[in-house]
A and B are shown apart, each in its own frame.
Chain A
Amino acid sequence: MEQEIRSSGPVRVQSSLCFSGALVDGPRIQQLLLHCAAALESNDVTLAQQAMWVLNNIASSQGDPNQRLTSSLLRGLVARACRTCGSPRGAGSMAAPLLGRRAMSVTELADYVDLTPWHRFGFTASNGAILRAVTGRDAVHVVDLGATRCMQWPTLIDALSKRPGGPPALRITVPSVRPAGPPLVGVSDEELGLRLANFAKSKGVQLEFNVVDNNNNSTNTPSSAPAKPLTLSQELLASVLSDPPALGLRDGEALVVNCQSWLRHVAPGSRDEFLDAVRALGPCLVTVTDEDADLDSPSLAARITGCFSFHWILFDALDTSAPRDSPRWLEHEAAVGQKIESVVGADDGERSESGARLADRMRRRGFAVVGFGDGEVEEVRQLLSEHATGWGVKREEDMLVLTWKGHAAVFTTAWAPN
Chain B
Amino acid sequence: MASEAMSNPFAPLTNQQQLQQPSSHDHEHPPPPPAKKKRSLPGTPDPEAEVIALSPRTLMATNRFVCEICGKGFQRDQNLQLHRRGHNLPWKLKQRSGKEPRKRVYVCPEKTCVHNNPARALGDLTGIKKHFCRKHGEKKWKCDKCAKRYAVQSDWKAHSKTCGTREYRCDCGTLFSRRDSFITHRAFCDALAEETARITAANSGAAAAGQGYLFAGSAPAGMAVRPHSMMLPPPAAAHLIRPAGGQMLGHTAGAVGDMLCEGAAARHGGLSLWGGENTLPSSMGMQHIGGLLSSGGAGAPMPPQMYADLFAPTSAGAPQQFDMAQLSWMYGNSGGSGKLSSSNASELTTNSSREADSAPSVFSGQQHAKPAAPPADMSATALLQRAAQIGSVTSSNNATMPVMGAFEPAPKSAARDEERNKFFFGASQHNANVSGAMSELTAATGSMPYDLFSAARHAGLKDAVGREETRDFLGVGMQALCSSSIHGWI
Interface set of A (CB-CB < 8 Å, partner B): 1-4, 12-14, 25-28, 30-32, 34-35, 38, 64-66, 103, 105-107, 109-111, 113-114, 120, 123-124, 151, 153-155, 157-158, 186-188, 190-192, 194-199, 201-202, 204, 292-294, 299, 301-302, 305-306, 308-310, 312-313, 316, 354, 356, 383, 385-386, 389-390, 392, 394, 396-397, 403, 405-408
Distance A202 CA – B388 CA, assembled complex (angstroms)? 12
Across the interface, do A154 and B114 meet the contact criterion of CB distance under 8 Å? no
- Interface residue ranges of B119-146 to A (CB < 8 Å): 119-120, 122-124, 127, 130-131, 134
Is there an interface contact between B122 and A403, defined as CB atoms closer than 8 Å? no
CB atoms of A198 and B114 under 8 A apart: no
Chain B interfacial positions (CB closer than 8 Å to A): 1-2, 5-6, 9-13, 17-18, 20, 22, 24, 26-27, 36, 38-39, 41-44, 111-112, 114, 117-120, 122-124, 127, 130-131, 134, 152, 155, 158, 162, 172, 174, 177-178, 180-181, 183-189, 192-193, 195-196, 199, 368-369, 371-374, 377, 380-381, 384-385, 387-388, 391, 429-430
Cβ–Cβ contact A107 & B155, under 8 A: no
B11-A157 in contact (CB<8A)? no
The reply to whether A28 and B114 form a contact with Cβ atoms under 8 Å apart is no
Q: Are A31 and B5 in contact (CB under 8 A)?
A: yes
Alpha-carbon distance A120/B178, docked complex (angstroms): 12
Q: In chain A, what residue has the closest Cβ to B2?
A: A301
Query: Which of B11, B186, B391 is A201 in contact with, Cβ under 8 Å?
Result: B391
**Contact, CB under 8 Å: B120 / A35:** no
Asked whether A114 lies within 8 Å of B134 as measured between CB atoms, the reply is: no
Asked if A187 meets B371 with Cβ closer than 8 Å, knowing A26-B119, A313-B42, the reply is: yes
Taking a contact as CB atoms under 8 Å apart, the answer to whether A405 and B122 are in contact is yes
B127 touches A194 (CB 8 A): no
A202 touches B10 (CB 8 A): no
* Contact, CB under 8 Å: B155 / A32: no
Q: Assess A32 versus B187: contact at CB under 8 Å? Given A114-B181, A199-B192, A408-B24.
A: no
Contact across chains for A14 and B122 when beta carbons are under 8 A apart? no
Give the residue name and chain of the B residue nearest to A23 (CB): B111
Name the CB-closest residue of B to A151.
B184
- Chain A: minimal CB distance from B108 (Å): 11
What residues of A have a CB within 8 angstroms of the CB of B134 in the complex?
Answer: 389
Q: For A302, give the chain B residue with the smallest CB separation.
A: B2
Q: Give how many A-B residue pairs fall within 8 Å (CB-CB).
A: 204
Q: Is the CB of B41 within 8 A of A25?
A: no
Partner of A195, one of B22, B131, B188: B188
User: When the two chains form their complex, are residues B369 and A191 in contact, meaning their CB atoms are under 8 A apart?
Assistant: yes
- Once A106-B188, A191-B381 are accepted as A-B contacts, the answer to whether A306 and B117 lie under 8 Å apart by CB is no
CB distance from B116 to the nearest CB of A (A): 8
| Measured CA separation A313–B22 after assembly (Å) | 12
The distance from the CB of A68 to the nearest CB of chain B, in whole angstroms, is: 12
A13 partner, pick from B6, B112, B384, beta carbons under 8 A: B112
Q: Complex formed: what's the CA distance from A390 to B86 in Å?
A: 34
Q: Among the listed B39, B123, B158, B192, which residue makes an inter-chain contact with A198, where contact means beta carbons less than 8 Å apart? A: B192
A155 contacts across to B, CB distance below 8 A: 180, 183-184
**Residues of the B chain whose Cβ atoms lie less than 8 Å from the Cβ of A198:** 192-193, 196, 384, 387-388
Which of A2, A309, A389 contacts B119, CB < 8 Å?
A: A309
Using known A-B contacts A13-B112, A195-B193, determine if residue A186 contacts B371 with beta carbons closer than 8 Å.
yes
User: What are 14 A-B interface contacts by the 8 Å CB criterion?
Assistant: A3-B10, A4-B10, A28-B9, A31-B9, A187-B371, A187-B372, A197-B384, A198-B387, A306-B42, A309-B41, A309-B119, A389-B130, A390-B131, A406-B122
A316 is contacted by which of B39, B114, B181, B185 (Cβ under 8 Å)?
B114
Q: Per a CB cutoff under 8 Å, which of A1, A202, A293, A294 touches B192?
A: A202
A34-B2 contact in complex given A12-B112, A25-B117, A113-B184, C-beta closer than 8 Å: yes
Q: A13-B112, A405-B122, A407-B22 are in contact. Are A196 and B196 (CB under 8 A)?
A: no
Closest CB in chain B relative to A24 CB, distance in Å: 10
The 8 Å CB contact of A114, one of B178, B192, B196, is B178
A2 to B12 CA separation, bound complex (whole angstroms): 12
Neighbouring B residues of A197 by C-beta, 8 Å = 384, 388
Decide if B41 touches A30 in the complex (CB within 8 Å): no
A114, B41: Cβ atoms closer than 8 Å: no
Q: Which residues of A contact B429 (CB under 8 A)?
A: 201, 204
What chain A residues lie within 8 Å of B374 (beta carbons)?
105
Asked, given contacts A107-B189, A301-B6, A407-B24, whether A27 binds B13 with beta carbons under 8 Å apart, the answer is yes
| Given contacts A1-B10, A195-B381, A312-B114, A157 and B180 within 8 Å (CB-CB) | no
Q: 4 smallest A-B Cβ distances: which pairs?
A: A309-B43, A186-B372, A154-B187, A199-B187
Residue in contact with B185 in the complex, picked from A4, A111, A305, CB distance below 8 Å: A111
Contact, CB under 8 Å: A406 / B24: yes
Residues of A within 8 A of B114 (CB): 26, 64-66, 312, 316
